[in-house]
Amino acid sequence: MMYSYYPGCTLKTKAQDLERFALISAQVLGIELAEQQDWQCCGAVYPLAEDEIAGKLSAVRSLAAAHSKGEKLITLCAACHHVIKRVNADMYSNEFVRKRVNNYLQLPKNYNGEAKVLHYLELLRDDVGFSKLAEQVRMPLTGRKIGAYYGCLLLRPSNVMNFDDAENPSILEDFITALGATAVKYPFRTECCGGYLTVNDQEANEMAANIINSAIGLEVEEILTACPLCKYNLEKELGTNTKVRIVYFTELLAEALAIK
């Protein structure tokens, strides 16, 4: 099946591994991801100001492009997914935003939030299916204790993101199980890593430390994430500590498919 694919800036710079493994795995799984032409930075942060549309335009361009091709839009970076999915919800249900954005963009056809945005994980769960994925695993990660780290961006606000139960999610654990590893649920798996506060706030370090300690407490060896910023924060806090490793979910996927 053919999908429009939106990578985002971080995947081309700091988080190249996240993308690289995703793309080669997709090939093996028979998923055709066509990178969108002329995609622009998603804005990185979903703009909360209700009367400001500038920060939403780039997401709408990508959404409208995917929709005009009749394809679902696949994202990979948690932050991009968050922004694009929320902007899409605005375009669907917020008359004020929809009107102003369409007036400004003057697209060949008005865009009204019709496109379907899927995160790569949702693609695996809903379109491929974890049981089908498990059948394709060539090198099962048997015996490895892996803790999923969700972060906030994929899960919340849950009524817009519709990704999983925000308080008790299971998609990443199901993914880990499909790869043959042992999924460990640790208490802080859905807590915030500190996000951008990391730049100048001591609080953020504490938040990341809580997550790491909670995972180590249950003998987790690898913490799995889908978010470049989460990975950065957790690794920064981890420093030289080698008890646990922070990995992108796509890296383990490639490993299990024996193409790493």
Taking a C-beta distance cutoff of 8 angstroms, is the pair 183, 257 a contact?
no
Residue closer to another protein by CB (options 58, 210) is 210
Distance CA 86, CA 79 (A): 11
Instruction: Provide, rounded to whole angstroms, the least separation between the CB of residue 71 and another protein.
Output: 31
Pick the closer one to another protein by CB: 185 or 260.
Answer: 185
For the bound state, the minimum distance from the C-beta of residue 175 to another protein, rounded and expressed in Å, comes to 18
Q: How far is the CB of 160 from another protein (least distance, A)?
A: 13
Instruction: Catalog residues that contact another protein under the rule CB under 8 A.
Output: 159, 165-169, 185, 187-188, 191, 214, 217
> 137 vs 166, which CB is nearer to another protein?
166
Q: Closest separation between CB of residue 68 and another protein, Å? A: 33
Question: Considering the complex, what minimum distance in angstroms separates the CB of residue 170 from another protein?
Answer: 10
Name the minimum Å distance from CB 119 to another protein.
20
- Cα radius of gyration (the chain): 18
Tokens of 45: 């942060």
Q: Identify which of residues 40 and 205 has a Cβ nearer to another protein in the complex.
A: 205
**Closest CB to another protein among residues 186, 232:** 186
* Cβ distance to another protein smaller for residue 22 or 183: 183
